[in-house]
Amino acid sequence: MTTQVQERMRQLSGCNYLRGAWVASAGRRLDVVDPATEEVIGQRAEATSAEVDLAVRNAAEAQRVWWARSALERSEALHDVSRRLKELREQIGECMTREMGKPFRESTWEGGAAASSFDYYAELARHDQGRVAGPSIAGQVHMTLKEPLGVVVSIVPFNYPMLLFGWQAAAALAAGNSIIVKPSELTTLTVLLSMSAFDHLPPGLVQVVAGGGAWTSSAAPRW
């Protein structure tokens, strides 16, 4: 393990990513074990209900800021996410290999493949904002308006943590939503490490809440 990635994994241990910052969770911590060596290489958090509620409130607030931007501004910001993920792909790949055992070549590929999702959806959203259709009856006007859902939650499995996160997050963000990611317990540090690619977006637009399947939120977005 390179010193840089090893130190980064220690820094991310026990954290959530809330409102643009890695924040130590108040919940319990569980060891992250390298499946190849059985060495403890970090810890993952079990987020509290209060932390989940905070993430939902942050996401609702950030989504309104994001949706107020033009489609061109959102597109450019997502292309920047792609560029940053490509720069991070070796670090992401090493972290993923150490955390869940995927061969390094595949892990590194996955970081780059996730990046391409943001390029794709950035352009798709910029060019598909709605349309006016021809009338079926004289005097009528038919319009299709596309609006975001609001706050989206992405529950990501362990086998392709970055690729599946990229598909979901890129589509959600391009459509004007905010997203809260619940990574697999086996790849929490990998997803947390990737969050530096999103730090130029409105704080709270992309967040990571760590843990198992027990947590729930009582917070409802207010529009």
Confidence of residue 223 (pLDDT cuts 50, 70, 90): very low
Please provide the CATH number assigned to the domain covering 16-129+144-208: 3.40.605.10
| Per-residue DSSP letter, 59 | H
Residue 215: count of CB within 10 angstroms of its CB: 17
Which helix (H) or strand (E) element contains residue 189? Answer: helix 188-194
Instruction: Tell whether the model's pLDDT for residue 74 goes beyond 80.
Output: yes
pLDDT tens for 150-208 read 999 999 999 999 999 999 999 999 999 999 999 999 999 999 999 999 999 999 999 99
Give the residue extent of every domain in the chain: 16-129+144-208
pLDDT tens for 3-41 read 889 899 999 999 999 999 999 999 999 999 999 999 999
Determine the pLDDT at residue 60: 97
Determine the pLDDT at residue 141: 80
Q: What average pLDDT is seen over the chain? A: 91
Confidence of residue 217 (pLDDT cuts 50, 70, 90): low
- Span 140-153, average pLDDT: 85
